[in-house]
C-alpha cells in the first residue's frame, strides 16, 4: 500500500513537472521566455516547446498581428490659428519581442506611449496646414463665392489628397522618432488615420460666424468686380453704338447728297430737253393744289399760270409742237 502511494505521488509529480515545463505557441503569437528577468529565448513559430518547470522560466506572449492604437482626442491649432479637435487611430506591430519586453513590457503601455508620439507628430504637421488641407476637401463655390449645395442642402465638397499627404508625413515622423530611441522599443507604427476632425463645441458658433463673414466678404468683392466689369462692358457697348450711329449718319448723308445730286441732274437734263412741257406739268400741279381746295386766290388775269386756261388749244398745240420738235 505504501508503495502504491509513493508511485502515485511520483506520477502526480511527473505530471505537474510535465505540465509546467511545456508551453504552446499559437500561430498568432510570439513568445519570450525569461529566467529571473533575463531573456532566455524568443519563439515566433507555432508549436509545442519545453521550458524549465515550476516557474523558473516565465513565458510572456505577444500578438504578432497588427494591433490597434486609439489615441485620445486632442485639440490642435492649424496654420490659421483655428482650434480643431482631432481623433486619430493607428496600427502597430511588435517587430522585436525581446526589445519590446525590456522597454514597453505590455501592449497597453505600448498603446499609451505610441499614442503620445502620434499626437506629438500630428500636432506639428497640423500647425503647418490649413483647415481645408487637414479635412482633405475644398467647399465648391459658385461665381458669387457662395457654397454650392445639393438637393438636401448640404455643401458640395471637392476631395483632395492633402489629408493623405499629411498623414504620410506623420507616419514618417513617428517612425523617425522611434528609430532614435535607445534602446529601441521593438515596435513599428504601420498606419495612422483620422477618425474625426471638427471644431470644439464651445467655439463652433464663433467659427461658423467667421466663416459666414468671410463668405460675405468674398461675395461683396465678387459683386463689386462684376459691377465694374458690367460698367466697363456697358461703356464699351455705348461707345461702339455711338460710333456705329455716327458712321451710319455719315454714310446716310453722303448717300442722300449723292441721290439729291443725281435727282437734280436728271431734273435739269429733263428741263433742258423740253422746257415748255416742264412748265406745262408744273402748271397742272399748281392747278391741282389750289383748284381742289376752298381757297381764294387773287391773281392778275395776265399771270403766267393762267395762260393754259385762257387759250388751252394754243397752249396744247404749242406744247405738242415743242414736244414733237424735242422728239426729233
For 86-142, what is each residue's pLDDT tens digit? 999 999 999 999 999 999 999 999 999 999 999 999 999 999 988 888 887 766 777
pLDDT higher for 315 or 58? 58
Helices (H), 150-200: 162-179
- The yes-or-no verdict on residue 318 having pLDDT over 80 is no
- The yes-or-no verdict on residue 83 having pLDDT over 80 is yes
Q: Exposed, middle or buried by CB within 10 Å (0-12, 13-18, 19+), for 73?
A: middle
Q: What is the DSSP letter of 72?
A: P
- How far are the Cα atoms of 97, 101, 191 from residue 64, in angstroms, in the given order? 9, 13, 16
Quick one: pLDDT at residue 154?
Answer: 58
Taking each helix axis from N to C end, the angle separating 162-179 and 107-126, rounded to the nearest 10 degrees, works out to 130
- Residue 51: Cβ within 10 Å count: 20
Q: Exposed, middle or buried by CB within 10 Å (0-12, 13-18, 19+), for 286?
A: exposed
Per-residue confidence at 301, pLDDT binned at 50, 70, 90? low
Helix, strand counts (H, E) of the chain: 9, 11
Quick one: pLDDT at residue 282?
Answer: 76
For 191-232, what is each residue's pLDDT tens digit? 999 988 887 777 767 767 877 888 888 889 889 999 999 999
Per-residue confidence at 295, pLDDT binned at 50, 70, 90? low
For 18-42, what is each residue's pLDDT tens digit? 777 888 999 999 999 999 888 889 9
Alpha carbon distance, N-terminus to C-terminus of the chain: 180
Domains of the chain: 2-59 (no CATH), 67-198 (3.30.479.30), 274-327 (no CATH)
Output b/e per residue, 214-224; b: 16+ Cβ within 10 A: ebeeebeebee
CA torsion, ordered 8, 9, 15, 17, to nearest 10 deg: -160
Amino acid at each position: 500500500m505504501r508503495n502504491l502511494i509513493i508511485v502515485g505521488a511520483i506520477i502526480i509529480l511527473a505530471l505537474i513537472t510535465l505540465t509546467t515545463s511545456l508551453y504552446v505557441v499559437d500561430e498568432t503569437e510570439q513568445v519570450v521566455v525569461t529566467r529571473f528577468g533575463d531573456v532566455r529565448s524568443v519563439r515566433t513559430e507555432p508549436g509545442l516547446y519545453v521550458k524549465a518547470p515550476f516557474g523558473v522560466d516565465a513565458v510572456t506572449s505577444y500578438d504578432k498581428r497588427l494591433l490597434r492604437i486609439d489615441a485620445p482626442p486632442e485639440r490642435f491649432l492649424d496654420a490659421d490659428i483655428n482650434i480643431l479637435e482631432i481623433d486619430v487611430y493607428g496600427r502597430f506591430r511588435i517587430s522585436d519581442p525581446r526589445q519590446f519586453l525590456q522597454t514597453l513590457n505590455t501592449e497597453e503601455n505600448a498603446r499609451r506611449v505610441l499614442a503620445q508620439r502620434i499626437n506629438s507628430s500630428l500636432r506639428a504637421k497640423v500647425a503647418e496646414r490649413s483647415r481645408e488641407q487637414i479635412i482633405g476637401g475644398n467647399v465648391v463655390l459658385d461665381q458669387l463665392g457662395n457654397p454650392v449645395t445639393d438637393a438636401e442642402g448640404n455643401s458640395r465638397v471637392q476631395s483632395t489628397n492633402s489629408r493623405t499627404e499629411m498623414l504620410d508625413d506623420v507616419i514618417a515622423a513617428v517612425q523617425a522618432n522611434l528609430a532614435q530611441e535607445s534602446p529601441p522599443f521593438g515596435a513599428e507604427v504601420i498606419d495612422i488615420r483620422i477618425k474625426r476632425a471638427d471644431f470644439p463645441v464651445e467655439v463652433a458658433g464663433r467659427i461658423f460666424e467667421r466663416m459666414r463673414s468671410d463668405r460675405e466678404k468674398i461675395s461683396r468683392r465678387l459683386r463689386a468686380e462684376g459691377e465694374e466689369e458690367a460698367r466697363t462692358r456697358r461703356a464699351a457697348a455705348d461707345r461702339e453704338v455711338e460710333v456705329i450711329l455716327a458712321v451710319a449718319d455719315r454714310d446716310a448723308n453722303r448717300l442722300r447728297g449723292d441721290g439729291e445730286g443725281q435727282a437734280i441732274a436728271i431734273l435739269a437734263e429733263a428741263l433742258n430737253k423740253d422746257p415748255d412741257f416742264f412748265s406745262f406739268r408744273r402748271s397742272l400741279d399748281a392747278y391741282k393744289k389750289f383748284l381742289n381746295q376752298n381757297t381764294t386766290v387773287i391773281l392778275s388775269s395776265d399771270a403766267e399760270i393762267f395762260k393754259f386756261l385762257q387759250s388751252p388749244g394754243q397752249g396744247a398745240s404749242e406744247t405738242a409742237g415743242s414736244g414733237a420738235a424735242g422728239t426729233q
